[in-house]
Structure 1
Amino acid sequence: MSATRIQVVRNARVMRAALLVFLALAAAGCSPRRVAEGLLLGSQFVRTANLAYGEQDRQRLDVYRPRTVRQGAPVVVFLYGGRWQSGSKDEYRLLGDALTRRGMVAVIPEYRLYPQVRFPAWVQDAALAVRWARDNAARYGGDPDNLVVVGHSAGAHTAALLALDERWLREAGVPAGAVRGFAALAGPVDTVWTDADVQALMGPAEGWPATYPATHVDGVEPPLLLLHGSGDRTVSPQSSARLAARIRERGGCARAILYPGVGHVQIIVAAAVPGTSSAPVLGDLTTFVRDPRAMACRGESAR
């Protein structure tokens, strides 16, 4: 057996053993996320926590950078999900770890949530976080001219709005074209609001068209990558497929990738802990960050 094959087998055994321990501790009542972090977090990154990007309590962010980062690393601003009502940057240490392993600087902000605020507060916060990342990336080894925004679920909706409705970044002071691309994972990006709680947090019904990313498609968007699992029962994968088709029909650059059988949570787990899934979410994101236009202009595909 070759040395490479032996290493692959060893890695697979270690992963299986780690997952068994994870399941045992989770069954015993321990936090699955904390157990996973204890098992899987590496030491190759440096985390700088709770940096202010605004004056509000939740306008704080964490920066993850490779411990041996060279100046000029790509920068990813990641917007987490939580139905615009929950979530915390502290839940995404494994994602910060995964991105730094690929040579990126990751910026993960908190943002204001319902019921304390309604739309568009979290979009405004995300835009301010992007402004902060552009202004401060070089201090952490990042390239401010190589900036990509990624979001999952509700965060994917925000990322799509930042991509398609230029006013949010413009009002935050981000120059046009400063973000090279946007990626949305399992986002409600081409849909209508039907659930009462979402209708409430999006504000009066007459304003809902402005909350729909598809409303703002004009064909001159930055590259947009839409990743979704075909097994998603929370947000229909057709939401991503429809938006990509709309953008391409108008002459824009967008690509939807559907992963067979992958669910709503599985897709972000696959990005944060790639060894637990056959869906190449982290690989596709890495390819996109390296060259957003080349990746997004290929059109729709399934894995």
Structure 2
Amino acid sequence: MKQLIQQVQENVIRAKNFYQEFRLYDLASYSMNYLTPKDTFEKEEHLAYGLKARNRLDLYRTKNPKKQKPLIVFVHGGSWQHGNKRDYVFIGETFAREGYDVAVINYQLAPENIFPAFVDDLAQAIHYLNQNKSKLNISTDNIILMGHSAGAFNVMSVVYSAQPQQFKYIDNIKAIVGLAGPYHFDYKNDPLAEHAFDQKISYQQVMPYYFINQNKIKHYLLMAENDQLVENHNSFDLDMALSEKGNHSHVVIIPKTGHITIVATLASFVSHYFKTKRTILHFLDEALED
């Protein structure tokens, strides 16, 4: 009983720290986006990829495309209960600057919507982008899925899941980049995640760790050195599961970052102080060479 009480208290502290960090991040994102240059991309806002209110995405078209015309699809974090595409202008800009088109999506949030709703939304967004690529003046031949925290779970689960999504675009995906992602954990009684999943279904029936299949996608799992929210075993376990199937996987720890700052350090005006952006760009060059 004493151990159970201690575990509950630790979970409550984690939840309080998470929401405190995200409130600070919300405030910081306004400043980051205000300081973000706007001359490296053309932007289309609030494109409807589905019928639900949050089935919307913002598209950042680079002014200097790479020859492969790669498309990054970015999925925000927020414990599946929080977050908005409007907070990630700096993500669109930082990769548009490097020759990538970038789609930043919203998705349905918990607790009103639980797994697999937010994963199905991602599949639907990718389908929309593919079906409308000529109209949008983009290519979907070289897609990079990128997500932070809960968004990293989503991008991994759109490929590795027990749910029948009829996902047709695995061959179009060149790389998946997960930043501080939870890929193998028990969400029951976890205050940050329990509202996003059916508590009657065990995590072994949900986590992408259990549904790895062989493919040619390159997987890059970035961990924050000082992450106090997502445990390291999530990335290490997934890396092992991918490797056992013969899939490419690379884990890297980004120094001087925490769970939230690992994504914030991608902003152009601070990225040169950290390894996050240049590490990802190196990985993406590797993935696009094949």
TM-score, L = length of structure 1:
0.79
Q: What SS does the aligned partner of 2:198 have?
A: coil
1:159 aligns with 2:146: no
Shift of 1:177: 1.3
Find the aligned partners of 1:229 and 1:207 in 2 and give their Cα distance: 27
Aligned match of 2:118:
122
Q: Unaligned stretches of 5+ in structure 2?
A: 1-23
| Aligned 1:225-240 pairs, distance under 5 A | 225-240=220-235
| Aligned 1:4-43 pairs, distance under 5 A | 31-43=27-39
Shift of 1:32: 3.1
2:82 to 79, 86, 90: 86
Shift of 1:190: 2.1
1:180 to 174, 183, 191: 174
Aligned match of 2:130:
134
Letter in 2 for 1:188: P
Contact 2:161–2:206 (CA<8 Å) still a contact in 1? no
Shift of 1:276: 4.7
Aligned match of 2:3:
none
Distance 1:192 1:254, change over 3 A: same
Contact 1:163–1:222 (CA<8 Å) still a contact in 2? no
Contact 1:223–1:293 (CA<8 Å) still a contact in 2? no
Contact 1:156–1:187 (CA<8 Å) still a contact in 2? yes
Find the aligned partners of 2:243 and 2:269 in 1 and give their Cα distance: 30
Deviates more, 1:188-197 or 1:246-255: 188-197
Contact 2:175–2:218 (CA<8 Å) still a contact in 1? yes
Q: How many residues align?
A: 265
Aligned match of 2:184:
190
Aligned match of 2:19:
none
Deviates more, 1:277-286 or 1:77-86: 277-286
Q: What SS does the aligned partner of 1:227 have?
A: strand
Deviation per CA, 1:134-161, whole angstroms, max 9, x where unpaired? 2333444432111111000000011111
Q: Unaligned stretches of 5+ in structure 1?
A: 1-26, 296-303
Shift of 1:247: 1.3
Contact 2:44–2:60 (CA<8 Å) still a contact in 1? yes
Aligned match of 1:48:
44
Structure with more of its chain in helix, by fraction: 1
Find the aligned partners of 1:138 and 1:282 in 2 and give their Cα distance: 29
Aligned match of 1:19:
none
| Aligned 1:97-116 pairs, distance under 5 A | 97-116=93-112
Q: What SS does the aligned partner of 1:83 have?
A: coil
Deviation per CA, 1:146-182, whole angstroms, max 9, x where unpaired? 11110000000111112323866x525x244121221
Aligned match of 2:18:
none
Contact 2:255–2:275 (CA<8 Å) still a contact in 1? no
Determine which structure has more spread, i.e. the larger CA radius of gyration: 1
Aligned match of 1:300:
none
1:216 to 211, 215, 218: 211
Contact 1:163–1:221 (CA<8 Å) still a contact in 2? no
> Percent identity among equivalent residues?
24
Aligned match of 1:280:
275
Shift of 1:213: 1.1
Higher-RCO chain (CA-CA 8 Å, sequence separation at least 6): 2
Distance 1:175 1:34, change over 3 A: closer
Q: What SS does the aligned partner of 2:70 have?
A: strand
Distance 1:199 1:243, change over 3 A: same
Find the aligned partners of 2:255 and 2:66 in 1 and give their Cα distance: 37
Find the aligned partners of 2:166 and 2:213 in 1 and give their Cα distance: 19
Contact 1:226–1:240 (CA<8 Å) still a contact in 2? yes
1:57 aligns with 2:53: yes
Letter in 2 for 1:216: F
Q: What SS does the aligned partner of 1:97 have?
A: helix
Shift of 1:229: 1.0
Find the aligned partners of 1:217 and 1:51 in 2 and give their Cα distance: 32
RMSD: 2.6
TM-score, L = length of structure 2:
0.82
Contact 2:63–2:99 (CA<8 Å) still a contact in 1? no
